[in-house]
Amino acid sequence: MHLAYLLIGSNLGDKATYLKNASSYIQQQCGQIVKQSSFYETEPWGFTEQPSFLNQALCIKTDLAPTQLMHALLQIESLMGRTRTIKMGPRIIDLDILQIDQQIINTPLLQLPHPAMHLRRFALIPMVEIAPTLVHPTLNKTMTQLLTACSDETNVQKKIV
C-alpha cells in the first residue's frame, strides 16, 4: 500500500464539477482518498494567457505501482476529454502525481517527486493544508518549509465552491 499525493486542476468550463468528477474516478480506479484540500483558485503558471485554475491536493491510499497509477490518471484525463494541444495550455482536467511515499523515480513517463512542486505555490499551498510535515524525498524539507522558501509570487486563493 502506497500513500500518493496528487494535484488535480482545471481551467475550462465548470471547473469545480470537473475536479469532483476526477476525484470520483480516482476513488474508483486508483485508490481511497484519505485527505483532500480545499479548492484553490490560482493564476496560470508558465503559459499565462489563459483562464485561472481551480486546484486541489489529494492524498490516496493505493495498491497501484507508480507507473500503473500514472497510466490510470492519464486514462481518467482522456475519459474526461482532455486533449493536449498547447504545452501548459488550457485544460478540462490535469492530474499530476506530486509524491508517492519517499520514492524517487526518473523515467520519461514519470518523475517523482514532481520536479517543479517546490517552485509552485499552487501545489505547495494545498499540500501544506493536507500534509504540512510531509518531507520532500530529495530536498529533505517539509512542505511547510518548501512553501516558506518558495519564490513564486502567483496569486493562490482558497475558494468556496
For the segment 92-109, what is each residue's pLDDT rounded down to a tens digit? 899 999 999 999 999 999
pLDDT at 45: 73
* Cα–Cα dist 104/114, whole Å: 9
pLDDT at 161: 77
pLDDT at 86: 66
Which amino acid would we find at residue 141?
Answer: K
Which domains does the chain carry? 2-114+155-159 (3.30.70.560)
pLDDT at 97: 97
- The residues annotated as belonging to the active site are 82, 91, 94, 96
Torsion, Cα 84 88 94 97, to 10 degrees, reads: 120
Flag residues of the chain having pLDDT under 70. Answer: 47-48, 84-89
Q: pTM of the predicted model, to two decimals?
A: 0.93
pLDDT at 71: 96
DSSP, res 13? S
